[in-house]
């Protein structure tokens, strides 16, 4: 009696690459929306105390907004990806997916940097 199932079990993905793509796309979307909203709110609240003739104050408000937006975006990316992966992968098979999800942004930046360097080298 105490061993009842609560609700339907989530469907497990048979293709790990599909789960990786879904987790990355979902995380990037959520991180972009939340990071932009928080960054805009922080920048506008910081700029509210600036005088119209103080350009440096406006720049500082923009930088504060960008910094907070990036921080919230990174936290949202990690959280959404880990929740998605833990929901759709069985225990014992999650660590590699979570590690790949966390290293994906760094690998993407490194790959694009390498391709840019190679294109400058060729031309």
What's the structural domain count of the chain? 1
Assess if residue 63 is contained within a domain. yes
pLDDT tens-digit profile of 41-76?
A: 998 888 888 888 887 888 888 899 999 999 999 999
pLDDT for res 5 = 57
Assess if residue 8 is contained within a domain. no
Assess if residue 85 is contained within a domain. yes
Does position 80 have pLDDT exceeding 70, yes or no?
yes
Whole-angstrom Cα distance, residue 66 to residue 10? 37
* Mean pLDDT over the full length of the chain: 85
Prediction pTM value:
0.74
Assess if residue 2 is contained within a domain. no
Assess if residue 80 is contained within a domain. yes
Q: Which residue has the tokens 């293709």?
A: 15
Assess if residue 66 is contained within a domain. yes
Assess if residue 111 is contained within a domain. yes
Among 112, 115, 114, 39, which Cα is nearest to 74's?
39
Range of the domain at 106: 16-122
Q: Which two tokens stand for residue 92?
A: 């014992």
Does position 1 have pLDDT exceeding 60, yes or no?
no
Assess if residue 5 is contained within a domain. no
pLDDT for res 93 = 83
């Amino acid at each position: 009696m105490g061993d009842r199932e609560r609700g339907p079990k989530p469907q497990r993905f048979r293709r790990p690459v599909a789960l990786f793509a879904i987790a990355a796309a979902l995380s990037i979307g959520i991180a972009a929306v939340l990071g932009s909203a928080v960054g805009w709110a922080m920048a506008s609240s910081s700029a509210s105390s600036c005088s119209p003739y103080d350009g440096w104050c406006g720049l500082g408000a923009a930088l504060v907004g960008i910094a907070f937006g990036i921080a919230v975006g990174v936290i949202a990316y990690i959280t959404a990806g880990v929740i998605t992966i833990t929901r759709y992968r069985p225990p014992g098979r999650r660590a590699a997916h979570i590690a790949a999800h966390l290293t994906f942004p760094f690998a993407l930046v490194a790959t694009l940097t390498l391709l840019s360097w190679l294109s400058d080298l060729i031309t």
